[in-house]
Amino acid sequence: MKRRWLLCVALIRSSHSVCPPPPLLTHVCGVRSLVAAVVDYANERNIPVRGYVSCVAGCPYQGKVDLEDVVKVYSKMREMGIQEISMGDTIGVGTPTQFSEMIAALVAIDGTPEHIALHCHDTYGSSLANILRGLDHGVTKFDASVAGLGGCPYAGGGATGNVATEDVVYMLQGMGVETGLDLEKLVEAGKEVTEFLGIETRSKVGKAMGAGKK
C-alpha cells in the first residue's frame, strides 16, 4: 500500500508577536487545538503526520526568535503525536551555531534526532553549513528544492527559496553519504524548469555542471 502523509503546520509564538502577520495570523493557541484534532484523527488511522515549525532562526517581523520558544513549539507538537517535525529557517538567517544549539536542545527532548528534519532557505548562503551541523547531530532528513526554487510570501523580497537539491546532493555524495539520487539528472531537471520559467538557477552546482551545455 502506498504510504500516505498528512501535513500539518505550526507557528512560532514569542511574547510579543507571531509569524506570519495578519491576515495569515492565527493565534498559536487556536492553531494548537485545530492541529491536535487533525493529528488525533490521523494517528487513529495510522496516517503518518509531518509537522512544520517556521521561522526557527529569525522572524521578518519580530527579529530574533528565542530558542526557548522554538523548543516549546517542538515539544508541544511531539506531545500531540506528530512523528516528524521539519524545523524551518524560513527567511534564511540561521547560522551553524544557532542550528547546533537548536538541534541539541530538541534531541534532549526525545533522546534521539529521528523526529527532526531541517528546512533551510539559503538567503545568506549558510544553508549547507547548517545542514552539515544537522548531520553532525544525527539528523538525516532535509528539505530542498531543485534549482533552489521557491521563497516565502510573507518574508519580504530578500528571502530566497529552499537550499538547492543539487547542492545538497553534491555535498553529501562528496562526503560518501548515499542519497539514492542522480546528480546529473537533478541538474538537468533544474535546467529544464528554470528555462521554462525564464529565470536563472540558484544552484551553484547546477551552474557549474551546466556551464557550456546547451
Q: Within a domain: residue 182? A: no
At 17 the pLDDT is: 46
Q: Within a domain: residue 77? A: yes
At 192 the pLDDT is: 96
Q: Within a domain: residue 140? A: yes
Q: pLDDT for 25-80, tens place per residue?
A: 455 555 667 778 888 888 888 888 888 888 899 988 888 899 999 999 899 889 98
> 8, 19, 55, 152: which one is catalytic?
152
Q: pLDDT for 170-186, tens place per residue?
A: 999 999 999 999 999 99
Q: Within a domain: residue 128? A: yes
Q: How many domains does the chain have?
A: 1
At 46 the pLDDT is: 82
- The mean pLDDT of 149-159, rounded to a whole number, is 72
> pLDDT averaged over the chain?
85
- The mean pLDDT of 132-159, rounded to a whole number, is 87
Q: Within a domain: residue 100? A: yes
Long-range interactions of 61-66: CB distance < 8 A, separation 24+: 61/17, 61/19, 61/20, 61/21, 62/14, 62/16, 62/17, 62/19, 65/12, 65/14, 66/14
Look at 190 and 1; give whichever has higher pLDDT.
190
pLDDT for residue 16 is more than 90: no
120 is annotated as an active-site residue: no
pLDDT for residue 18 is more than 50: no
pLDDT for residue 102 is more than 60: yes
Q: Which of 58-62, 64-68, 83-87, 126-130 has the highest mean pLDDT?
A: 126-130
Instruction: Give the pLDDT band of residue 11 (cuts 50, 70, 90).
Output: very low
CA torsion sign for 21, 197, 8, 99 is negative
List the alpha helices (DSSP H) in the chain: 28-44, 67-80, 96-110, 127-136, 165-174, 183-197, 204-210
Q: Within a domain: residue 200? A: no
Q: Within a domain: residue 211? A: no
- The mean pLDDT of 13-21, rounded to a whole number, is 43
pLDDT for residue 191 is more than 80: yes
Q: What is the pTM of this model?
A: 0.86
What CATH number is attached to the domain comprising 100?
3.20.20.70
Q: Within a domain: residue 119? A: yes
Q: Which domain holds residue 125?
A: 6-163
pLDDT for residue 147 is more than 70: yes
SS (H, E, C) 103-134: HHHHHHHHCCCCCEEEEEECCCCCHHHHHHHH
At 42 the pLDDT is: 85
